[in-house]
Amino acid sequence: MALTYSNVKTLRPNRGVRQAIMDVTLDDSYDNGGWSITAAAITAAAGGILNRIFNLAPPANKGGYAFEWAPVSGDASGKLKALVSGGVSDKFQEAALAEFTAYPAGTFTEQAAALAKCLDGSSYANLAVTAAEAGYTANYQLFPDTPVAGDAVLFGGAVPFGQVGIDMSATVCVYDAAGVVGWDYWNGSAWADLDASIINDGSGSSGVTGDYFGEQDGVLTFVPPQDWAASTIDSQSAYWIRGSIETGKAANITTVGLTNSTEHDLNVTTTGYVATHNGLISSVGISDMAATVHTTKDIKFYLINETTGKSSGVVAFGQDVRDEVLDLPYPVPVSISNKLSIVVTQEDGTNEAGRVTLQLNYSNAEALADDPGLEDIVLRCHVIGS
C-alpha cells in the first residue's frame, strides 16, 4: 500500500513558491524509519516539487503521537515519521559484546591520499608521493631517510575515529630498545598528547603503546578525545593524529619503514548496532552470563558512534561482577540509522567473560511508533513546493 494524498486547498503562488493545504491518509505499511513520501506524489497533489511539510495536525484521539517530516538533503523526497511523544526514556538496544574484540567487527577501508601526510621539518607531503620530497628515497615512506626530532606522519579522517590501520611493505620500521614515536591530536588550539588514550598498537611488535609504530602490519587503537577538533593541514581539512619522532630519540630508529602502496585504513562498521531512535545513550547495562564470572581484570571498553565519531570515554566493568548499570562518562548522541560499535580496551585476564550482553539505555529518546492503529489516520498539513 502507499500513502494517499488529497489536496484541500491550493494557495496563491508567492514568487514562484507553491503552497497547499493537504490531507495525508496513513496506511498500514509503516516501516521502521517512516513512510516514504515521494516528490512525484506530492507534485500531483500540491502542484509542485515538495520542499517542506509542516503543521502536521493529528486527530485528537491520537494525541499521544507526534508526527514529523524528515526531508532528504538535496532531494525532494523524504520520510513521514510517527513518534511516541513521551515515556520512552527506557528504550534500549541489546547485542552481544562478545562479538567485538580489540578491533571491532568491520571493514578497514583505505582513505584518500590527501588524508595521510608526512612532515619533514616544516614541509608537508602526501605519504603516497614522498619520493618527490628532498630527504625521502621512496614513496609511502613514513619518516625521512635521516629523521630528526619533530619529523612526523599524520593520519586524518572526515569524522573522529578510534582506529587507524597500516599495511607495511617488506621494509618495516626497525627501532633499537628505545620507543621512538609519540602521538598527538589537534584540540582546536594546539597539539595535545594522545599517548594516554592509546589502547593498543598492533603495528608494534616490541610494544603496544604507539612507541614502535610500523614494525608490522597492524592497527593503532585509541579513545577518540572529547575535544578533538578538525583542522586544515596542507590544504586538507580533517580530524588529524600525528606520530612524531620524539626529542632525543631520532638515533633509535635504525630503519625507516615504508607502507605497502596504501595510505591508511579506517574502520567501517559492518556488524554492530544500528540506532533505531534519536536521542542520547547515557548508560549501559552489562551482564556476564559465562559459567564462571570473570575475575582477574576489569573489562574496559568504549562505545563509539562510527557515523559521527562521538564516543563515550572508557567504561570499566569490574571483576567478579555479574550485572551492573554503568553511566557513560560522556553520553553519546545518536540518530536513527547511525552505526555504533564497541571497542574492548582490555581483555587480558586469565578468565575473561565469555558470554556478555550489553544494553544501551537511551535518555531523551524519540521512539518510532509501530502501531497498526495508525492506519487510516488523516493528517492535515501545510505543504510548500516550487
375 and 344 in a single domain? The answer is no
Q: Is the pLDDT of residue 374 over 90?
A: no
Q: Is the pLDDT of residue 16 over 80?
A: no
Regarding beta strands 236-245 and 152-157, do their DSSP bridges make them parallel or antiparallel, or are they unpaired?
A: antiparallel
Q: Which domain holds residue 123?
A: 106-269
* Number of C-beta neighbours around residue 382 at 10 A: 16
* CATH code for the domain of 53: 2.60.40
124 and 256 in a single domain? The answer is yes
Per-residue pLDDT, 97? 37
When pLDDT is averaged across residues 283-299 and rounded to a whole number, the result is: 84
82 and 113 in a single domain? The answer is no
157 and 227 in a single domain? The answer is yes
When pLDDT is averaged across residues 297-321 and rounded to a whole number, the result is: 90
Q: Which residues contact 33 (CB under 8 A, 6 or more apart)?
A: 79, 81, 336, 337, 368
Per-residue pLDDT, 249? 96
Q: Of the candidates 382, 345, 302, which has an alpha carbon nearest to the alpha carbon of residue 45?
A: 382
Per-residue pLDDT, 74? 47
Question: Cα 82–85–86 angle (5° rounding)?
Answer: 140
- Position 287 confidence tier, pLDDT thresholds 50, 70, 90: confident
The last residue of a domain, from among 213, 247, 269: 269
9 and 96 in a single domain? The answer is no
Per-residue pLDDT, 101? 37
- Position 25 confidence tier, pLDDT thresholds 50, 70, 90: confident
242 and 260 in a single domain? The answer is yes
Biggest CA–CA distance in the chain, Å, is 80
341 and 241 in a single domain? The answer is no
350 and 238 in a single domain? The answer is no
63 and 145 in a single domain? The answer is no
Q: Check if the beta carbon of residue 81 is closer than 8 Å to that of residue 379.
A: no
Q: Which residues contact 308 (CB under 8 A, 6 or more apart)?
A: 159, 160, 333, 338
Q: Is the pLDDT of residue 78 over 60?
A: yes
291 and 328 in a single domain? The answer is yes
* CATH code for the domain of 127: 2.60.120
> In the predicted model, what is the mean pLDDT of the chain?
82
Output 187 or 348, whichever has higher pLDDT. 187
When pLDDT is averaged across residues 199-215 and rounded to a whole number, the result is: 91
When pLDDT is averaged across residues 288-303 and rounded to a whole number, the result is: 84
Per-residue pLDDT, 108? 82
Domains: count for the chain: 3
Question: Which of helix, strand or coil describes residue 263?
Answer: coil
For the whole prediction, is pTM greater than 0.75? no
157 and 257 in a single domain? The answer is yes
331 and 317 in a single domain? The answer is yes
- Position 102 confidence tier, pLDDT thresholds 50, 70, 90: very low
